[in-house]
Structure formats: C-alpha cells, structure tokens
A and B are shown apart, each in its own frame.
Chain A
Amino acid sequence: QVQLVESGGGVVQPGRSLRLSCTTSGFTFSRYGMHWVRQPPGKGLEWVALIWYDGTNKYYADSVKGRFTISRDSPKNTLYLQMNSLTAEDTAVYYCARDASFSGDRFDLWGLGTLVTVSS
C-alpha cells in the first residue's frame, strides 16, 4: 500500500526545535523528490521545502530558509524536517508530499499530516 505517514508533531515553546519524520511505503522512495507543505489552522497551503530524489539539491521557502532543514534517509525510506528557532507563525499542520518526478513536479501523494503548535 502506497502511503506517507508523518510523525513528530506536538506543542513546542517559541525558540525551540522539533524534528518531523515522514515514513514512506509502497513505492521506491529513492526515485522520487519529496516535499514538505504546511497549512496553518483555517488557512491555505504553503510549500515549505523540496529535496531531490538523491538528496543532492534542496530548496526552501523564504519563510523557513536558514531555520529549517530537509533531509532523507533512503535505506529507511524516511523524510525529515528539522525545524529550529520556531515561532508562532510556524504553527500548522505539516504534510509530506511525494513529487511526481525526481526533482520538482506536481505533488501526487500526500500524508495525513502532523500538527505543530508553537506556544508558550
């Protein structure tokens, strides 16, 4: 069964860090680019980051550049998002999404998301 399952969300204080994971199954993880997308409560979708299929290239939204790091572990079929210096504006449901190709295309598979709440 093809699926993406995010984990690692929770409540975190401003300024602290959190690492999200996205465990994948049912497809050859190492052949696809992967994204993180977030959605603040009641708001629209915001693309966060992309990592190429082989991890050689990474791209970030300006809003997270320098604070967030996307990475992947192909033997574990897992995508990560390390989030540092969190602020209230980072509160959102975080989705991982599969790129339809290896380096930047439409998002053809989405996880269920994990909620990150930044609050003191």
Chain B
Amino acid sequence: DIQMTQSPSSLSASVGDRVTITCRASQGLGNNLAWYQQRPGTVPKLLIYAASTLQSGVPSRFSGSGSGTVFTLTISSLQPEDVATYYCQKYNSAPFTFGPGTKVDIK
C-alpha cells in the first residue's frame, strides 16, 4: 500500500505569515490528492482536491500544488481561524490513506 507522510508534524507561525505544509506519497498518485482541515473539536472539512483545486467556499489564501509523489498546501497569510490540523489524503484507489497530520498554531 502507498504510505503518506507530512512535514512538519506541527508548526507555530504569526498572523499574516506564509505557511507551507508538505505531503509525500511512497508511490505516484498523479494528482489524486486532497487536503482537509480539522479545527479543534470539529469535523474534517475538504479544502483542496485534485492537488490544486479549491473546494467551493474555501478562502483563496489556501492553495495546493504538486503531482506524483510530492504535494504542498500553502496558506498565504495565516489567520487566527486557520488554527487546525491539516491532513493530506490519497484517493486514486483504496485504501484512501490519510497523512498523519500537521498541527498549525498561532505564535
């Protein structure tokens, strides 16, 4: 099975900072990669799919890039409401494995 890793596992940044999270797959996924945001105490929410397509209603400060085995999620200007854990996920085929998550805090 394809393994998913994320780096860093956690980060702390200031409001307005640019934040980048990296997701790596052990085998190529094409662009079948999604990003989810899970705020504390809430349900996961789809942010980005097809590696770079923004889900409807998601603020434009979020963006995704990459293909194959390396993908990135970028928050161009971190806001207080972005405090959350972010997960990448492969969906090219079962199993639909999630990455271990990256916890984002405000410094």
Contacts and interface: CB of A to CB of B under 8 A. Distances in A.
Interface residues of B, number: 24
Where chain B touches its partner, the secondary structure class is loop
Contacts of A35: 96
B43 A104 contact: no
A57 to B, nearest CB: 9
A95 interface: yes
A107 B55 CA distance: 11
Interface string B47-91: 001100001000000000000000000000000000001010101
Interface size class for chain A? Answer: 20 to 34
Contact of A47 (B38, B55, B97, B100): B97
Interface of A: 35, 37, 44-47, 50, 59, 61-62, 95, 100, 104-108, 110-113
B43 A112 contact: yes
Contact of B101 (A44, A62, A112): A44
